[in-house]
Amino acid sequence: MTLELNQRLLNLPPSGIRKFFEILSTMEDVISLGVGEPDFNTPWNIREYAIYSLEKGHTTYTSNYGLLELRLLISKYLKQRFQVEYDAEKEILVTVGVSEAVDLVVRTLLNPGDEVIIPEPCYVSYAPLVTLAGGSPVSYKASYENNFEIKIDEIKQLVSQKTKAILINYPNNPTGATFSKSELEHLLKLARENDFYVITDEIYAELSYGRKHTCFSSLPGAKPYTILLSGFSKSFAMTGWRVGYVCAPPQILSQLVKIHQYNILCAPSIAQKAACEALTNKKDYIDEMRAQYEQRMNFMYKRFKELGFKVVKPTGAFYIFPNLEHLSMTAEDFCWKLLEEKRVAAVPGDAFGDGYEYNIRCSYAASLSQLEEAMNRIEDFVSSL
C-alpha cells in the first residue's frame, strides 16, 4: 500500500522520554531518575477495596461521565481542599488519566489555526496534542534566570486574535516551579481581557513545598474561563490505575463527553472504585509522601549545587532540572554517556521544549538510598570528564 498517512502525525517527533525507557528496559543495574512515577505502592486500603469491588462483580461499564459516586467525592474533595465548587453531574468528567483529559480538551476547544500558548519546559504531550487537534502551539520559554517562573507581561506579548487558551501545569513537570496566588490573579485578568481559556493541569497540586497550592478556578470569577485537569496518579500513587478528571463549565463538559464516549466510553470501573476509596479514606499517606519528597528534593538540590550545576530549587512535584552548560556538552550526550558508563538514567531537557539542550530532568521519586547512589555515580562521571 502506498496511500499517504496523516501528515500531522508523520511530522510529529516521537516522545523524547520514551526512547530512553526503551533502552533502559534492556539494561541491568540501572538507577532510573527518568520515570515520573511515585516509588510508593498504591496504599493498602485502596488496593484492598479494588479487590473487594472485583469480588463483588463491579466489572461493568459505568456512565460515560464516570461513577456518580466518584464524581460526588471529587466535588467534595475540591471544595474541602481547594475551596472550589463543581457540580458533580454537570461539571465533572472522569477520564483515563490526565493525558486523555488534555486530548479531549484541545480537540473540543480548537478549530484549525487556533493558538494555544504553552509555557515551556512542559510535559511532552502538550504541544503534540494541540497539533494533532489542528491547533497551533505557541511556545513561551521560561528561563533559569527567572527561576522558570512565568512573566505575565511576556505572556501578554504572545496573545493574538487566534489565542484560544493557555495551558499551564503547576507545580511543573519538569522544573518543579509553581505559581503564587498573585501571579495566577494576573493571568486571570489577562484571560478575561482577551477572552481565552486557561487550561490548568494541577496533577501535582498535593505535592507543594513551602507554598500553599492555589487552584486557579478557586479565584473569584475564574470558573467560566477555567478547565481544570487533575487525577490520582501522583498524589495517591495510582499511576497504573489511569484515573483522571476534567472540571469545566457545563457547555464545555457536554462536548468533552462526546469525544470520550466515542473514543474511550469510560474509565475502568475497578479503577474508579479504587479512586472512590482513595477519596473516602485518605488517611495520612499524602502528607507522608509529601514529606519524603521534600526531603529527597533538598538532598538532590544540595548535591547538584555542590557539583557545580546551575539549579533552581523546586517548590513542588518530584523533579529537578539542573543545567550542565559548564560541562561543555549537551544534555543528550551527557544522558547517553551517563547511562552507558554509570548506569544512571536521566532525561535530556530538550524533550520538554526547544532551548533546553543543556538541562536534564531528574525525578527524585526513588528511595533516598537510591538517590544517594545515583548522585555518587553522577559525581564520579562528572569527575571523569
Q: 251 — phi, psi (to 5°)?
A: -70, -25
Q: Which residues pair with 228 in a beta bridge?
A: 200, 247
Q: Which of 30-44, 132-146, 215-229, 324-338 has the lowest mean pLDDT?
A: 30-44
Label residue 204 by pLDDT band (50, 70, 90).
very high
Place of cell 534492556: 26
Q: Which of 164, 147, 145, 123 is nearest to 353 (CA)?
A: 123
Q: How far is CA 230 from CA 2, 89, 245, in A?
A: 41, 17, 6
Which among 223, 232, 174, 176 has a CA at the least distance from the CA of 200?
223
19: left (phi over 0), alpha (psi -120 to 50) or beta: alpha
Whether the pLDDT of residue 3 is over 90: the answer is: no
Are the C-beta atoms of 57 and 273 separated by less than 8 Å? no
CATH class of 44-280: alpha beta
Domain with CATH 3.90.1150.10 in the chain: 7-42+285-384
- Cβ distance 17 to 331 under 8 Å? no
Q: Ranked by mean pLDDT, which of 11-25, 156-170, 281-295 comes out on top?
A: 156-170
Distances (CA, A) of 119 to 137, 177, 304, 354: 10, 12, 25, 11
Q: Is residue 7 over pLDDT 90?
A: no
Across 221-250, average pLDDT: 96
The arithmetic mean of pLDDT across residues 356-381, rounded, is 96
Residue range(s) in the chain whose domain bears CATH number 3.40.640.10: 44-280
Mean pLDDT of 21-47: 83
Are 94 and 112 in contact, with CB atoms under 8 Å apart?
A: no
**pLDDT-derived band at 21, boundaries 50, 70, 90:** low
Q: What is the per-residue pLDDT for 4? A: 80
* CATH number for the domain whose boundaries are 7-42+285-384: 3.90.1150.10
Look at residue 141 and tell me whether its pLDDT is greater than 60.
yes
- Residue 183 sits at φ, ψ, to 5 deg, of -65, -40
Tell me: pLDDT of 177 over 60: yes
Residues 327-366: tens digit of each pLDDT: 989 999 999 999 999 999 999 999 999 999 999 999 999 9
Q: Kindly indicate the confidence band of residue 237, based on its pLDDT and cuts at 50, 70 and 90.
A: very high
